[in-house]
């Protein structure tokens, strides 16, 4: 589920850049209102090296932020009130516009694509879990990371799917814990030198299993795609 959702984000960013997404003015408007992408997706975007697209988007975004900067008025506030009052001030309304006006006015488009992809994959998974053949395949798989498992459990359609999700997770956890115990055991000086078996890399697998792959944010808003 992590992989499918992340791949979807990657191809979404690709599509914005390469398939004429930026010709679509409504996408440009939305990206501008979001002040580009969030930190994580902006860096992902950079890694995907969309030179022209980056120039187009950020020329736009910086112009927009410059307009907002020009609209700011001095307002003396405590530090805390400055950081706690949120982006409601960021609209184009009248009234005092403090530094919060620099907050994005809408969600990062890639974050939204991620949430939509997660919802779609989860929907397929939960529908298929009721089919015996898929159920068997799922039982033999590594299952879901913990954040996606939590989401799936909350949306399971019947008791047997719910039980299957838990069963697979427990089997997975037991296998991982055994491998971790083996790493711990081998760390003991008396056993060093033994060849590493299937426990090799288990510590990283355990971390990834606990938090999801990099870029997954835990419980995404499932309603985002609806």
CA count, 13 A, side-chain hemisphere, 198 = 5
* Of positions 8, 41, 50, 209, contacts Zn ion by CB under 5 A: 41
Within residues 160-219, the interface with Zn ion by CB under 5 A covers 212
Q: Which range, of 17-25, 27-35, 47-55, 139-147, touches Zn ion by CB under 5 A? A: 139-147
Residue closer to Zn ion (CB basis): 44 or 179? 44
Using CB under 5 A, count the residues that bind Zn ion: 10
Does 152 bind Zn ion (CB under 5 A)? Our answer is no
Task: Tell how far CA 205 is from the center of its chain.
Answer: 18
Task: Tell how far CA 219 is from the center of its chain.
Answer: 9
Write the DSSP string, 4-63.
HHHHHHHHHHHHHHHSSGGG-HHHHHHHHHTTSS-HHHHHHHHHTT-HHHHHHHHHHHHH
Does 36 bind Zn ion (CB under 5 A)? Our answer is no
Q: Which range, of 48-56, 100-108, 127-135, 178-186, touches Zn ion by CB under 5 A? A: 100-108
Residue closer to Zn ion (CB basis): 106 or 186? 106
Sequence-ordered strand ranges (E) for the chain: none
What is the contact surface with Zn ion in residues (CB under 5 A)? 1-2, 38, 41, 108, 110-111, 145, 148, 212
């Amino acid at each position: 589920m992590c992989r499918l959702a992340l791949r979807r984000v990657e191809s979404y960013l690709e599509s914005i850049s390469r398939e004429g997404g930026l010709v679509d003015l409504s996408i440009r408007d939305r990206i501008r209102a979001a002040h580009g992408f969030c930190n994580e997706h902006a860096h992902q975007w950079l890694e995907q090296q969309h030179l022209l697209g980056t120039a187009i988007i950020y020329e736009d975004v910086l112009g927009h932020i410059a307009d907002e900067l020009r609209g700011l008025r001095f307002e003396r506030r405590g530090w805390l009130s400055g950081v706690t009052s949120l982006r409601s001030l960021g609209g184009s309304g009248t009234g005092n516009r403090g530094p919060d006006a620099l907050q994005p006015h809408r969600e990062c488009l890639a974050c939204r694509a991620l949430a939509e992809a997660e919802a779609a994959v989860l929907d397929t998974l939960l529908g298929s879990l009721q089919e015996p053949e898929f159920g068997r395949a799922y039982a033999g798989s590594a299952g879901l990371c913990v954040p996606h498992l939590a989401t799936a459990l909350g949306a399971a359609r019947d008791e047997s799917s719910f039980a299957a999700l838990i069963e697979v997770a427990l089997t997975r956890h037991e296998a991982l814990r055994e491998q971790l115990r083996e790493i711990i055991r081998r760390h003991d000086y008396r056993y060093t030198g033994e060849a590493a078996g299937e426990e090799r890399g288990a510590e990283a697998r355990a971390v990834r299993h606990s938090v999801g792959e990099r870029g997954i944010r835990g419980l995404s808003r499932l309603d985002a795609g609806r």
